Amino acid sequence: MDRVIVVGGGLAGVRAVEALRGKGYEGRLTLLSAERHKPYDRPPLSKAVLAGERDETTVDADWDRLDCELLLGERATALRLNADGPGGVVVTETAGDLPFDGLVIATGATPITLPGDGSQHVLRTLEDSLRLRARLTEGTRLVIVGAGWIGAEVATTAVKKGCAVTVVEAADTPLANALGPELGALTTRWYAEAGIDLRTGVKVAAVEHGGLLLTDGDRIEADEILVGVGVRPELGWLEGSGLEIEGGVVTDASLRAFTGGRGGSSPLEEERTSRPEIVAAGDCAAWWSERYGRRMLVEHWDTALNAPEVAAATLLGQEATYDAVPYFWSEQFGKMVQYAGHHTTSERMIYRGDPAGDKWAVLWLTGDRLDAVLTVDRPRDLVQARRLIAAGTPVDDEAVTDPETPVRQAVKS
């Protein structure tokens, strides 16, 4: 390959650049980013940056050594693939057509916004965080739509700044979509203890000037409104390209993209055509997991950090697969909440410790196999359980539910 283009200036993009050089690629390398900043970490945006403890989170990368052309503030608008062979052209707003024979798609995701002509904040970019930070002053009435991870983190920071915080959630509990209503209900008291007005089962019709209009006709007054109801992969520029899209860019276990196909549960359907010169990584990749027997779209920092290593190897013709145990964390209400694995409603759910206390965990099992773990201020449990999940090590129910027994010692002999 003579020229590789990495589209996306987030963590996945910079890690792809580093991995390509680290694996011996010596050709021309270009990173294209819609943002004007050099790649930076996003998790601190809802924590340290919003709190005023940091002003930037730039990823530490030696761009001179990487010998990578940076096209910052330049948005990809289309992708044209060659009809007679591999490669194609990335179309941009002002830089023109950028031909390539290798492509890394790492365009991340975009926050979902709500209808209405009122002002609403989202939290995805450094500018988003700094803009919201400037508005979080003593006495500000902040309404947050969505009691998910971002909503809880922003509420935590805002209430410390003296804001009057109201959180509205369409589901009956916080985190209902991520963890289910039973576990979500356990976090309700965290809001009350922090002095936050949590209103569940509340649906928003529109964001209006000075407040929210609810579907039942009621209105909640607000000085500032943050919408934290999820994100969608940033894939509009791929429309008409021929790449298969199913939530994200459809890839095999090696993060290799396809043209054709109709989605489905297998990466090996005959109607698919592999595109070995195109890989995807991070929030926008829907990758096939042999571990879970399904396609995964994991929109968390850990995936953006580690998947590009596999994407780069695949692009260079090396054998590699990505089948990591998903992991994420959230700092909210003075607690460290961590999750590893993947679970559905079919697994058994058991508690490790008393959820009415300050430190506890939840485990999901199929038979004696540990599928997922959620921990609240039990980081050692998380680390040990994650290793057992990755190895597929069978565990003993009685031992693993005892909070005094280290998880690593709860394996079956």
Q: What is the pLDDT of residues 61-70, one digit of tens each?
A: 999 999 999 9
E strands, 47-160, in order: 69-72, 76-81, 88-92, 97-100, 102-105, 109-111, 141-145
321: in domain: no
Residues 263 and 224 in one domain: no
Residue 250 has pLDDT above 50, yes or no: yes
Residues 63 and 141 in one domain: no
Residues 68 and 7 in one domain: yes
357: in domain: yes
Asked which of 167, 197, 229 is the last residue of a domain, the reply is 229
Residues 280 and 201 in one domain: no
Q: How many Å apart are CA 271 and CA 268, to the nearest integer?
A: 9
Residues 129 and 224 in one domain: yes
Q: What is the pLDDT of residues 351-382, one digit of tens each?
A: 999 999 999 999 999 999 999 999 999 999 99
CATH number of the structural domain spanning residue 388? 3.30.390.30
Residues 256 and 284 in one domain: yes
141: in domain: yes
The residues, ordered by sequence, that sit 6+ positions from 134 with a Cβ below 8 Å of its Cβ are none
**Looking at the 3D structure of the chain, how many domains does it have?**
3
Residue identified by tokens 């968390």 is: 300
The pLDDT score that the predictor gives to residue 271 is: 64
Q: What is the pLDDT of residues 254-297, one digit of tens each?
A: 999 999 865 444 445 446 788 999 999 999 999 999 998 999 99
Radius of gyration of the chain (CA): 22
Residues 223 and 241 in one domain: no
Q: What is the pLDDT of residues 195-206, one digit of tens each?
A: 999 999 999 999
Q: What is the pLDDT of residues 289-322, one digit of tens each?
A: 999 899 999 999 999 999 999 999 999 999 999 9
Q: Which amino acid is at 26?
A: E
Q: What's the chain's average pLDDT? A: 94
Contact between 155 and 132 under an 8 Å Cβ cutoff? The reply is no
Residues 24 and 93 in one domain: yes
Residues 240 and 225 in one domain: no
Asked which of 315, 346, 368 is the last residue of a domain, the reply is 315
Residues 256 and 215 in one domain: no
323: in domain: no
The residues, ordered by sequence, that sit 6+ positions from 208 with a Cβ below 8 Å of its Cβ are 116, 117, 118, 219
Mean pLDDT of the region 80-96: 92
Mean pLDDT of the region 111-130: 97
CATH number of the structural domain spanning residue 218? 3.50.50.60
128: in domain: yes
Residue 342 phi, psi dihedral angles, 5° rounding: -155, 135
Host domain of residue 370 = 334-409
